[in-house]
Amino acid sequence: MMTRAEKMTGKSKHTLAFYTLLYICFFLMSSVIVNKNDDFVFMKGIEQFGSFTGWASFFVNNWGGRIIPQGILVLLLQLPGFVFTAVDAAMWVILLIYACRICDFGKRFDHRIETVLLAIGIFTLIPAAVLTGAVFWKCANIMYLWGTAGILVAIYPLVCQARNSSYTRKDLILAWIACIYTASFEQGAAFMSGALILLFLFNSFVKKHFDKHMMILTAAGIILTAFFYKLPGNALRSQIEVYGQMPKYDMYSAPDKLLWGLWYAVENTEQFMPLVFLALSGIVAYCAFRYRKEDKIFRLIGIVLFVYFGLCWIVRTGSVISGNAHPLGFIYTMITVDNVTFGLNLREALCETIHIAMYALLGASLLYLRPGKTNILPFITFFGGLATMTAIGFSPTIYASGARPQFLGDFFLLCTVFVSVCDAAEGSDFNYTVVTKNVNGEDVQYNEVTDHPGQEYNVHGR
């Protein structure tokens, strides 16, 4: 009979073999990425400006705040191509590892199966146009893929706290590195800052667990995001885009831009990923009848959401398959800016109001899938993913960016499905009752009521 140590060693070998194979697969995939478009501009950056600092000075003053990711790209493009390929493959592995850690914190399912399923979801559900522009182009890959991985690494210690588990010093160091990197990519920085704020507030006021290290990390994320956003190159780049791409951009009001952003977010996700919203509404309905049998209101909400997004799936899928507008398509059609210019249609306004209300209800329902328990993570990934796409309405680069900004939104919507499935399966680790005891002169918190008796963690993260 094998001892426990022998079993653990065997599992470690299998895990190492699995992630080695995964890395090789992503290395082969990343090796097909070739230099194109702006990649050649960054490749010649040092040659053109005489030094890396010369290029950096020009970039922050004339082009934007993405100085860290684009600066790394400038340096990588001076090296043999396989160096970028090797680092990029590692970023894919990091993205999947941290996504699975965060989505299924309790490890209710085999992490290798979860990793494979998430990878399949990324490459089958996220539209090819989004993947091509975001991760198969070096200039964008280093922001959208690496930045998304950075978000997950940066928020991981706060997720650990929210789920009454420990974060290590290594987790904290990696979170700081990821925070600095991601803050220099404005779309990812906005998501990261919002997630840090919500998780910190949740931990401090709902979980009654204040941590000065997390407060400093959250504050740093906000300050760094603001710093990189305020670099002079961002304002100049916006004006260049307005003159070159959208001369009429400044005529739009804030409500116009909001409508534009909502159209961009909802139309694109529903057209290509309606199954995600059907799945989420199905999870809400399942939990309503599985765990809230006495809660008639929540059961009604579950039914309404499932029927509404089920019909949405039929309409959107039918339109894509047939190539023609569905007769019921008007229910889910979002208002465009040009429609507002020539007057607001009352039926369209009513339908859009209901549509947005259904999204708000769906996201809010994910907070309370199980009675008496609050899971803030799907709330963050759901609304955060949609918000990153909606924000593009406030940027004149909406046409220049094309489908790329959808990557963050689509990815985090997939994560919402994963974390909601895990929550529905057994309940969330967010909801243990915690008591503090003094052990050998050190405060240690224990789960008093838990699905996993005996689990403990140190409040200081050691």
Residue entry with tokens 């001892």: 3
Residue entry with tokens 């850690």: 101
Return d(Cα 146, Cα 135) in angstroms, integer.
9
Tokens of 69: 């990711």
Three-state SS at 404: coil
- Pair 92, 100: CB distance under 8 Å: no
Three-state SS at 408: helix
Strand order in the sheet with 442-449: 433-439, 442-449, 456-458
Tens digit of each residue's pLDDT, the chain (462 residues): 445 444 445 567 888 899 999 999 999 999 999 888 888 989 998 989 989 999 999 998 888 888 999 999 999 999 998 999 999 999 999 999 999 999 876 566 778 888 999 999 999 999 888 998 889 989 989 999 999 999 999 999 999 998 888 899 999 999 999 999 999 998 899 999 999 999 999 999 998 889 999 999 999 999 999 999 998 888 887 777 777 777 777 777 888 888 888 888 898 888 888 899 999 999 999 999 988 888 899 999 999 999 999 999 999 988 878 778 788 888 888 877 765 555 667 888 898 899 999 999 999 999 988 877 788 999 999 999 999 988 887 877 665 566 788 899 999 999 999 999 988 886 444 444 444 455 455 544 444 333 333 333 333 333
Which string of DSSP letters, residue by residue, matches 301-357?
A: HHHHHHHHHHHHHHHHHHHHHHSS--TTGGGTPPPPHHHHHT---HHHHHHHHHHHH
Q: What is the CA radius of gyration of the chain?
A: 23
- Pair 96, 22: CB distance under 8 Å: yes
Q: The pTM is what?
A: 0.86
- Pair 301, 361: CB distance under 8 Å: yes
In this structure, what is the dihedral angle of CA atoms 59, 61, 62, 65, given to the nearest 10 degrees?
Answer: 60
Tokens of 354: 């209901």
Measured CA angle at 400 (ends 399, 406), to 5 deg:
75
Return d(Cα 85, Cα 242) in angstroms, integer.
35
